[in-house]
């Protein structure tokens, strides 16, 4: 759960709003967008949901665990309303966009539901609630819009880094994924809008721009005017200055030679790639309807390392997909051990309504999928811990994030993405450091996935 820091505003509203933001970074950007709209409209932002008159729950509806977390958060907020601790509850985000009729019927205690295309209307909804209205429902049937955050965007990351959403929606039809049905078709923002937002973020003191969408490598493909990710990276690099640009959520089938070559020559671009492969066996990738198949999956790490020496690679895998045999899983484990990704996440298949995979024969028992997930994570842990220990004595540059006390600062290197990878714990002598500082370090050891370092 994420709550915004307090941002003073000339408040014309008689109520304050507190956020509970769940799910991925793309959802967090939506929460930041709504917070900025509220402040621009003179609505007060509470320091936390516990201090708010109105609680806004921005939900995730991707897989079973995320849906349960969202529903629990909604029920907790509604329980606070019943005790008089808050006045109203708003539910936004993917869960209501996906389960429009079901959620409205199941939760009459919710005062307002708003969909993905209605985020800019949040201040109007809050004022209607403040005026005594309830049972407000503003959810479009299909999500079609793409927004640019307002100037003075409110950041909920809690550090000197931000996520920049470069596109919305997805055109892929992976058999296991419900996102296209929730977020709609892929639609890119313009390079001009993204660069303008990035410039404002850098002026606000942000030092790391994490580019996100459902598939960053497809950026611009819908615009049909030559816009693409390499052009965007060149424009962002052209801003100048010392900051990082990181690419998250790519696709192995669309990792072009031009993109890799562009990443190699722009100094601000981190040599870091987050490209989910999902599986390595051809049968599974075909069943999953993954574009590019096994050829693209196996080529991804080899091509990236050849073009970008020292690149840090992250991927995710899906186990327990319908029809996955022990032989299929063994092939995936061999792949992971062979290519030794720096960072890897593993998910157990969750059958999602209205996706092709939910109806496929050969459903794998959940317990079996979980065992395979643990097995693959154990294999990756061996790789990750060995790679972490190999950092001993190496020099690097770190971005300082926040003090942890007793002379230790939390920092990250270019090879560590926020929230999903480990961090670097820097034992800092003196007090000449601050959040947002880039400084040379030398690694002294590792604590599991985290690295230890001292100033160099």
- Nearest to 107, CA basis, from 89, 120, 130, 125: 89
**Residue 338: pLDDT above 50?**
yes
Rounded Cα distance between 95 and 165, Å, is 20
| DSSP code of residue 278 | B
> What value does the mean pLDDT take over residues 407-432?
90
pLDDT confidence of residue 253: 93
Torsion, CA 404, CA 245, CA 157, CA 406, rounded to 10 = 0
Distance CA 302, CA 116 (A): 38
Q: What is the mean pLDDT of residues 40-51?
A: 93
Between CA 393 and CA 294 the distance in angstroms is 37
Kindly state the average pLDDT of the residues 356-361: 94
Neighbours of 225 (CB within 10 A): 8
What is residue 398's predicted lDDT score, i.e. its pLDDT? 96
Task: Check: CB of residue 293 under 8 Å from CB of residue 311.
Answer: no
Helices (H) and strands (E) in the chain, counts: 13, 19
DSSP 9: -
Could you count the other beta carbons within 10 Å of the beta carbon of residue 278?
Answer: 22
Domains 161-389 and 395-455 share a fold: no
Return the closest-CA partner of residue 79 out of 59, 107, 48: 107
Residue 342 backbone class (left: φ over 0; alpha: ψ -120 to 50; beta: rest): alpha
- The mean pLDDT of 233-257, rounded to a whole number, is 96
Q: What is the pLDDT of residues 1-21, one digit of tens each?
A: 444 433 333 334 479 999 999
Phi and psi at residue 32, in whole multiples of 5°?
-60, -40
- Give yes or no for a contact between 38 and 75, defined as CB atoms under 8 angstroms apart: no
Q: For residues 8 and 174, give the distance between their C-alpha atoms in angstroms, rounded to a whole number.
A: 44
Nearest alpha-carbon partner for 399 in 286, 201, 245: 245
Across 141-150, 223-232, 279-288, 354-363, least confident range: 141-150
189-207, pLDDT tens digit by residue? 999 999 999 999 999 999 9
What is the β-pairing status of strands 88-93 and 54-59?
A: parallel
What pLDDT digit, counting tens, does each position of 400-417 carry?
A: 999 998 889 999 999 999
> How far is C-alpha 295 from the geometric centre of its chain's CA atoms?
27
- SS3 for 53-102, per residue? CEEEEEECCCCHHHHHHHHHHHHHHHHHHHCCCCCEEEEEEHHHHHCHHH
Count Cβ atoms below 10 Å from residue 387 Cβ, excluding itself: 17
Give mean pLDDT, residues 89-103: 93
Which residue stretches of 189-344 are H helix?
Answer: 191-203, 229-237, 257-265, 282-287, 293-307, 326-339
Question: What pLDDT shows up at residue 429?
Answer: 62
| 369 contacts 403 by C-beta, under 8 angstroms | no
What's the CATH number for 161-389? 3.80.30.20
Angle formed by the axes of helices 293-307 and 326-339, to 10°? 10
Which residues, including other chains, have CB under 8 Å from residue 383's CB and lie 6 or more apart? 336, 337, 340, 341, 344
- Mean pLDDT for the stretch of residues 392-400: 95
Domain ranges in the chain? 16-138, 161-389, 395-455
Distances (CA, A) of 233 to 215, 263, 265: 15, 8, 10
Helix (H, G, I), strand (E, B) or coil at 255: coil
pLDDT for the residue numbered 159: 86
| Check whether domain 395-455 has CATH 3.30.70.2970, yes or no | no
- Residues 415-441 have a mean pLDDT of 90
Query: Is the per-residue pLDDT at 290 higher than 70?
Result: yes
Average pLDDT, the chain: 92
Looking at per-residue confidence, does 371 or 354 come out higher? 371
Per-residue pLDDT at 3:
45
Distance CA(245)–CA(81), nearest Å, equals 42
Q: Which fold has domain 16-138?
A: Rossmann fold (3.40.50)
């Amino acid at each position: 759960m994420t709550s915004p820091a307090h941002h003073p505003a000339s408040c014309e509203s008689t109520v304050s709003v507190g956020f509970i933001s769940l799910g991925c970074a793309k959802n967090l950007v939506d929460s930041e967008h709504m917070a900025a709209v509220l402040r621009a409209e003179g609505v007060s932002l509470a320091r936390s949901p516990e201090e708010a008159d109105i609680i806004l729950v921005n939900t995730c509806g991707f897989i079973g665990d995320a849906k349960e977390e969202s529903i629990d958060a909604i029920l907790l907020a509604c329980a606070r309303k019943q005790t008089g601790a808050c006045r109203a509850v708003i539910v936004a985000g993917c869960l209501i966009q996906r389960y429009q009729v079901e959620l409205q019927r199941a939760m009459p205690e919710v005062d307002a539901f708003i969909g993905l295309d209605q985020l800019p209307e949040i201040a109007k909804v809050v004022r209607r609630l403040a005026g005594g209205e309830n049972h407000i429902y503003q959810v479009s049937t299909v999500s079609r819009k793409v927004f640019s955050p307002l100037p003075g965007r409110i950041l909920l990351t809690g550090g000197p880094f931000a996520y920049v959403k470069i596109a919305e929606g997805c055109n892929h039809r992976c058999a296991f994924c419900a996102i296209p049905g929730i977020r709609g078709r892929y639609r890119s923002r313009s390079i001009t809008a993204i660069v303008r937002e990035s410039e404002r973020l850098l002026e606000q003191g942000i030092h790391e721009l994490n580019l996100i969408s459902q598939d960053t490598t497809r950026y611009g493909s819908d615009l049909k005017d030559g816009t693409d990710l390499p052009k965007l990276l060149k424009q962002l690099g052209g801003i100048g200055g010392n900051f990082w640009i990181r690419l998250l959520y790519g696709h192995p089938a669309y990792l072009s030679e031009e993109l890799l070559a562009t990443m190699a020559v722009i100094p601000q671009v981190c040599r870091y790639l987050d490209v989910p492969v999902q599986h390595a066996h051809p049968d599974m990738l075909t069943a999953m309807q993954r574009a590019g198949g096994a050829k693209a999956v196996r080529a991804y790490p080899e091509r990236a390392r050849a073009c970008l020496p020292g690149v840090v690679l992250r991927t995710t895998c899906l186990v327990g997909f319908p029809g996955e045999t022990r032989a299929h899983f063994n092939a995936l484990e061999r792949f992971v051990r062979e290519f030794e990704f720096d960072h890897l996440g593993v998910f157990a298949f969750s059958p999602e309504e209205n996706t092709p995979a939910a109806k496929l024969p050969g459903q794998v028992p959940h317990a079996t999928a979980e065992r395979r997930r643990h097995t693959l994570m154990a294999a990756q842990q061996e790789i990750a811990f060995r790679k972490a220990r190999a950092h001993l004595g190496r020099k690097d540059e770190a971005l300082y994030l926040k003090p942890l006390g007793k002379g230790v600062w939390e920092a990250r290197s270019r090879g560590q993405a926020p929230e999903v990878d480990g961090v670097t714990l820097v034992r800092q002598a003196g007090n000449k450091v601050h959040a947002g500082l880039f400084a040379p370090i030398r690694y002294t050891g590792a604590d599991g996935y985290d690295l230890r370092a001292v100033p160099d």
